[in-house]
Structure 1
Amino acid sequence: MDSTSVHKDIDEPLLVSNEPSPEPPSCTQSFSSKHGSDGELERILSNTSVPFAKRLGPATWVELKLLFHLAAPAVIVYLINYVMSMSTQIFSGHLGNLELAAASLGNTGIQVFAYGLMLGMGSAVETLCGQAYGAKKFDMLGIYLQRSTVLLTLAGIILTIIYIFSEPILIFLGESPRIASAAALFVYGLIPQIFAYAVNFPIQKFLQAQSIVAPSAYISTATLLVHLVLSYFVVYEVGLGLLGASLVLSVSWWIIVIAQFVYIVKSEKCKHTWRGFSFQAFSGLPEFFKLSAASAVMLCLETWYFQILVLLAGLLPHPELALDSLSICTTVSGWVFMISVGFNAAASVRVSNELGARNPKSASFSVVVVTLISFIISVIVALVVLAIRDVISYAFTDGEEVAAAVSDLCPLLALSIILNGIQPVLSGNIFI
């Protein structure tokens, strides 16, 4: 395969009218029913003989059905994955204030760096696979999955170096040597998680592009239960402390990865999109990297500012109190962020599928609907946070000083929740 054909595969596979992959009628029918590619929404929006106000209701109903079919399981997956990370922080926090500060600094200050980069780079698969599926070029989905995994694995090697030298890096940034040492111990156990990210995010986007989201939700739910039991046993019964907590988190992510890959290989739903390993995964990597990097930029900026806040908190006069209170706020904000990322994924799939099927009005309408829904949810959550501001911290630690500090931060937290409820959804459609 020459460089011209490789570049063409990436830049145009999906919006040009090349011959689609030949598939049996059952596959086409399934595609239409799940993605709205029969054009029902586009016909409603394009019917100018009916006033727009009368078209709005039916169009919204059609879009909501399509959107929530994708968004509900996607939000569950992201929330459960986030709960796994948060529960690890909670288990660590009940070991003591130092352990909570260390887990917060390691989790939010270091691990989020890798999470934002890996999820952002993996989002290229969401766009390409969504458009390929919309254009019925089914054979390209497996190739995109493998290319992304190769790139993310290479990125994971670089991130591993950062993890290994996390203690001197944190001390260089001005963190307390005592907290930096404990945080580094926590981070060492997260190194296997980096490579789980490298496989998980491409797999996740590959499945979402085909509206296959329920299996990931079931797998994540089962893994969460295993994670909670293992965490309690390893941290408290075995006594491995911070290192044990982070190692269990890494193991849990690998359970998710293996289970999802087995599903892809064995499921009849993926037999037309996964056709085994291919050397094409190693072709066109420079062009694919450019798209992955572009996809990563916005999400990295969204996640890394949390990281910067936590690092700055560690420089304050009372670093343990500052880290504890701020990490609780960022954890709560992260809940809403994960909901928004779930809607982001649903919106990206909806828009790319409609563009691949040449339905521009449907694509634009989907962006409007998903943004409004995410905004409403974030406002409701912000009001709940304000209502329980005085007690919210006790889920993480027993300290009264921390509770008072968190209560003072809650008005700003509520504003952040609302803004974070909208921005990720909008940014998810920029690179489509």
Structure 2
Amino acid sequence: MLHAPPAAAPLRSKTIGSCRCQQHEAEQQPDLALNSYADAATATHHWHFRQPEREVAASANQTPIPPRSRPKRKTKTHHRSFHPPSSSSSSRGARRQSLYGPRAPVPADRPTAGLEIDYHHSSEHLPPPSTHEPPARARTAAAPGSRSAMGSGAGGSKLESPLLGPAAASRGGSGHGEAASGELEGILSDASLPWRRRMAAATLVEMRLLVRLAAPAVVVYMINYLMSMSTQIFSGHLGTLELAAASLGNTGIQVFAYGLMLGMGSAVETLCGQAYGAHKYDMLGVYLQRSTVLLMATGVPLAVVYAFSRPILVLLGESPEIAGAAAVFVYGLIPQIFAYAANFPIQKFMQAQSIMAPSAYISAATLAVHLVLSYLVVYQFGLGLLGASLMLSISWWVIVVAQFVYIVTSRRCRLTWTGFSWQAFSGLPSFFKLSLASAVMLCLETWYFQILVLIAGLLKDPELALASLSVCMTFSGWVFMISVGFNAAASVRVSNELGAGNPKSAAFSVVVVTVLSFILSVLISVVILLCRDYISYIFTEGEDVSQAVSQLTPLLALTLILNGIQPVLSGVAVGCGWQAFVAYVNVGCYYIVGIPLGCLLGFYFDLGAAGIWSGMIGGTLMQTLILVWVTFRTNWDKEVEEAQKRLNKWEEKSPQLLD
């Protein structure tokens, strides 16, 4: 029902359905209510209408006249003024129909030759937004502090876009991952679907996202592992001393720097992932530069340690010959430190945007070149250990330069990389705290099983213990690369969903990625158990080693199963920004429980390598159970609020230095 306002009141613009009218702001009087179409026609001097002429023709069963062929009409009617039809009137009608549903039939006694008013605009005729919105834009779970998607007024209801939805200017930069993310939240929030159908549809969407993220990440980490292993193989063919030196440099000093740099780079993974989900694209480039500055500064003291590696190794008990050869190898790895400092922030920057495939292609091409050049440098040019390690450093720098060129030139990064900024040098102390917590969390995990090997060297038969453990650790390292890929996928998915304000999608992603990684690790463990009597022959022909490996295989299978869960939950922790909490958990479970328990079983109860490994598995199991308990009792709505607070804390505007 329409109400005619008093004649003397001021006018304001208002939209009703597809008509634009001007309505008085004064209170509408009941005695002025118009109860017939005739009364509406007599009161039109208070209303200014825009005639949808093509729709009028359709409602009168007439053939609509194309807009360009209809001549402009000039009307001097005092009661109304008509505007020439717009070429977008049909598109407006289509958009209105997609939002509000089809028009109701026009009454037979309704006049169609004159003006047309949409009488079906009120809130009682308006279906919920999730019914007619595309799934990719459905946002039924509003972000903290956001207004409802529906706002009602005196004249009807108005649709408002969600607070955390993509802005019109930034939709061009959103990729398929963002659309699928919104689709997932819409499916999980659609109460009209049966529970099983909803879970099946959501699982399909999430699996598609995880495969796109995890598969390239696994390839990247596998190739990085192969590059270091190939360098060690080339060095080993030079002689036994060179093999020992390369092994000591790779598994000792180089792993220390790798874990520290990768851990500190995880701060970028948290902030960039949440900023990308919140559509604060310009901040991703700032976080990338800030982390690079911080890691480059950290690389300076590490380079000093590399330079004095020989006396350090002698002090730790290594023979002067092995320490001297290892120092030569480590000297060539000094440029690799700063390649780490540039690569890990770039890698996390691209992962946060679900850009994984380019890094895999770049790493694969670099590996092929690395193998050829390493052969030439080591054997043809005779540069030995120094040449092998220098080629490894150069290969890492090739990866860094290629990825940065992709970032600068790719259209996929045009919103996230806007040039160098002075802001990269601001807030470094606070950023260092988050980076340090990330580094401690990862290093405690990385060094844990390195300590297992060191302790095994103190047993009664160290040669057999070390040989059997090295075979098992090699298989564990290969399978761990798969878990690290799921770790990266979990971190990206959770951080993106929290930044976008999608708590249901974040929680669902955690469940799917954990279950998927667990199933895969169980299958691999079954294969390992079936081949327990044969896997050692890949590395050696000794019967004693084969028997020892067969006895340790059940522990290896249990370790693989735990590694299918624990790294994924660590990735969830990184996505949520829980690095400091997980660091405390790692200290308690690994170094207060795991290592002392392993030493007790291995030496006091004389269980040897199996006892040491069993105790350390106990520490890993305790850590995994704690992370499972904390993760699945998390209030994800609160995590969305924390993500927004974290982004607001780090978001500081500053002028550009170079575009």
Question: TM class, shorter-chain normalised?
Answer: 0.7 to 0.9
Q: What's the CA shift string for 1:216-236, capped at 9, x where partnerless?
A: 111000001011112222233
CA distance in 1, matches of 2:540, 2:174: 48
User: Is 1:180–2:180 an aligned residue pair?
Assistant: no
Equivalent runs, 1:367-406 vs 2, <5 Å: 367-389=510-532, 392=535, 406=549
Greater displacement, 295-304 / 142-151 = 295-304
- Structure 1 distance, partners of 2:300, 2:227, is 24
Which residue is equivalent to 1:427?
570
Is contact 2:165–2:500 with CA below 8 Å preserved after alignment? Answer: no
What CA distance in whole angstroms lies between the structure 2 residues aligned with 1:317 and 1:251? Answer: 42
Residues 172 and 308 from structure 1, CA distance in 2 versus in 1: closer, same or farther, beyond 3 angstroms? farther
Number of aligned pairs?
Answer: 418
Where do 1:277-356 residues align within 5 Å? 277-313=420-456, 326-356=469-499
1:83: which partner in 2? 226
Using the alignment, how far apart are the partners of 1:15 and 1:169 within structure 2? 53
The verdict on how the C-alpha distance between 1:197 and 1:424 changes in structure 2, with shifts beyond 3 A counting, is: same
Per-residue deviation at 1:329? 3.4
Maintained 8 Å contact 2:257/2:302: yes
SS at match of 1:212: coil
Which of 346, 352, 359 is the equivalent residue of 1:209? 352
After superposition, what is the alpha-carbon deviation per residue over 1:245-294, rounded to whole angstroms, capped at 9, x for unaligned?
Answer: 22221111111001101111111211211111111100010111111112
Contact 1:35-1:350 at 8 Å conserved across structures: no
Q: For 2:277 and 2:259, how far apart are their aligned partners in 1? A: 27
Q: Please, which moves more after superposition, 150-159 or 396-405?
A: 396-405
From 266, 276, 281, the counterpart of 1:133: 276
Q: What percentage of aligned pairs have identical amino acids? A: 73
Partner of 2:387: 244
Q: Which amino acid aligns with 1:180?
A: A
Partner amino acid for 2:182?
A: G
Instruction: Go from structure 1 to structure 2 and tell me whether the alpha carbon gap of 1:107 and 1:16 turns closer, same or farther (over 3 Å shift).
Output: farther
Q: Counterpart in 2 of 1:257?
A: 400
For residues 361 and 66 of structure 1, what CA distance do their matches in structure 2 show? 16
Give the unaligned 5+ runs of structure 2.
1-142, 147-161, 577-659
Question: Contact 1:15/1:356 (CA < 8 Å) preserved in 2?
Answer: no
Q: Using the alignment, how far apart are the partners of 1:238 and 1:398 within structure 2?
A: 34
Q: Which has the larger radius of gyration?
A: 2
CA distance in 1, matches of 2:291, 2:205: 32
Question: What is the 5 A alignment of 1:40-51?
Answer: 40-51=183-194
Note the alpha carbon deviations across 1:282-339, whole angstroms, 9 max, x for none: 0010111111112222211111123323444555677777656544433332222222
1:191 paired to 2:329: no
CA distance in 2, matches of 1:282, 1:21: 31
AA at the equivalent of 2:433: K
**1:168/1:409 CA distance change after superposition, 3 Å:** farther
Give the TM-score normalised by structure 2.
0.58
CA contact 1:42–1:362 (8 Å) conserved in 2: yes
Q: Which moved more, 1:55-64 or 1:337-346?
A: 337-346
If asked which structure has higher relative contact order (CA below 8 Å, sep 6+), I would say 1
Q: Is 2:122 the partner of 1:122?
A: no
Secondary structure at the aligned position of 1:174 is classed as coil
The range that moved more, 344-353 or 406-415, is: 406-415
What secondary structure is seen at the aligned counterpart in 1 of 2:420?
coil
**Structure 2 counterpart of 1:267:** 410
Contact 1:100 1:324 in 2 (8 A): no
| TM-superposed deviation, 1:49 | 4.4
SS of match in other structure, 1:430: helix
Structure 1 CA distance for aligned equivalents of residues 164 and 188 of structure 2: 26
**Mean CA deviation greater in 220-229 or 98-107:** 98-107
- Whose strand fraction is larger, Structure 1's or Structure 2's? 2
Structure 2 CA distance for partners of 1:251 and 1:179, relative to 1, 3 Å: same
Please state how far the C-alpha of 1:414 moved relative to its aligned partner. Answer: 2.9
Deviation, 1:207, is 0.8
- 1:70 maps to 213
Output aligned runs, 1:7-156, within 5 Å. Answer: 28-29=171-172, 31=174, 33-36=176-179, 39-156=182-299
Within 5 A, what are the aligned runs for 1:227-238?
227-238=370-381
TM-fit CA distance, 1:69: 1.4
The aligned counterpart of 2:100 is none
Conserved? CA contact 1:149–1:202, under 8 Å: yes
**C-alpha distance in structure 2 between counterparts of 1:92 and 1:387, whole Å:** 34
* SS at 2:355 equivalent: coil
How has the CA–CA distance of structure 1 residues 372 and 204 changed in structure 2, closer, same or farther, with 3 Å as cutoff? Answer: same
TM-score using structure 1 length: 0.87
Which residue in the other structure is 1:6 paired with?
A: none
CA contact (8 A) 1:185 1:242 kept: yes
Cα distance between partner residues in 1 of 2:309 and 2:534: 33
Distance in structure 1 (CA, Å) of the matches to 2:327 and 2:555: 30
Write the distance in 1 (CA, Å) between the matches of 2:293 and 2:165. 24
Task: Write the distance in 2 (CA, Å) between the matches of 1:385 and 1:128.
Answer: 38
CA distance in 2, matches of 1:31, 1:281: 25
- Give the Cα separation in 1 of the matches to 2:232 and 2:465: 16
Contact 1:73/1:214, CA 8 A, preserved across alignment: yes
The CA deviation string for residues 402-431 of structure 1, in whole angstroms up to 9 with x for no partner, is 666655544433332222222111011224
1:365 Cα deviation after fit: 0.8
AA in 1 matched with 2:477: G
Change (3 A) 1:413 1:176: farther
Between stretches 265-274 and 161-170, larger displacement belongs to 161-170
The answer as to whether partners of 1:190 and 1:249 remain within 8 angstroms in 2 is yes
Is residue 416 of structure 1 aligned with residue 559 of structure 2?
yes
Judging changes above 3 Å, is the alpha-carbon distance between structure 1 residues 251 and 56 closer, same or farther for their aligned structure 2 residues? same
Contact conserved, 1:20 with 1:137, CA < 8 A, in 2? no
Give the corresponding residue for 1:3: none
SS in 2 for 1:429: helix
Structure with the largest fraction of helix? 1
Provide the rounded CA distance (Å) in 2 between the counterparts of 1:359 and 1:68.
20
Unpaired runs of 5+ residues, structure 1, are 1-13
TM-aligned CA deviation for residue 368 of structure 1 = 1.2
Structure 2: distance between partners of 1:185 and 1:325: 29
Between stretches 232-241 and 249-258, larger displacement belongs to 232-241
Q: Distance in 1 between matches of 2:518 and 2:553?
A: 19
Q: 1:38 to 1:411 in 2, by over 3 A?
A: closer
Match of 1:9? none
Amino acid at match of 1:362: S
Tell me whether 94-103 or 140-149 shows the greater mean CA deviation: 94-103
Give 1:29 deviation, angstroms: 4.8
Q: Which residues of 2 match residues 150-169 of structure 1 at below 5 A? A: 150-169=293-312
Query: Could you list the per-position Cα deviations for residues 101-124 of structure 1 after superposition, in whole angstroms to 9, with x for gaps in the alignment?
Result: 332222112211111111111111
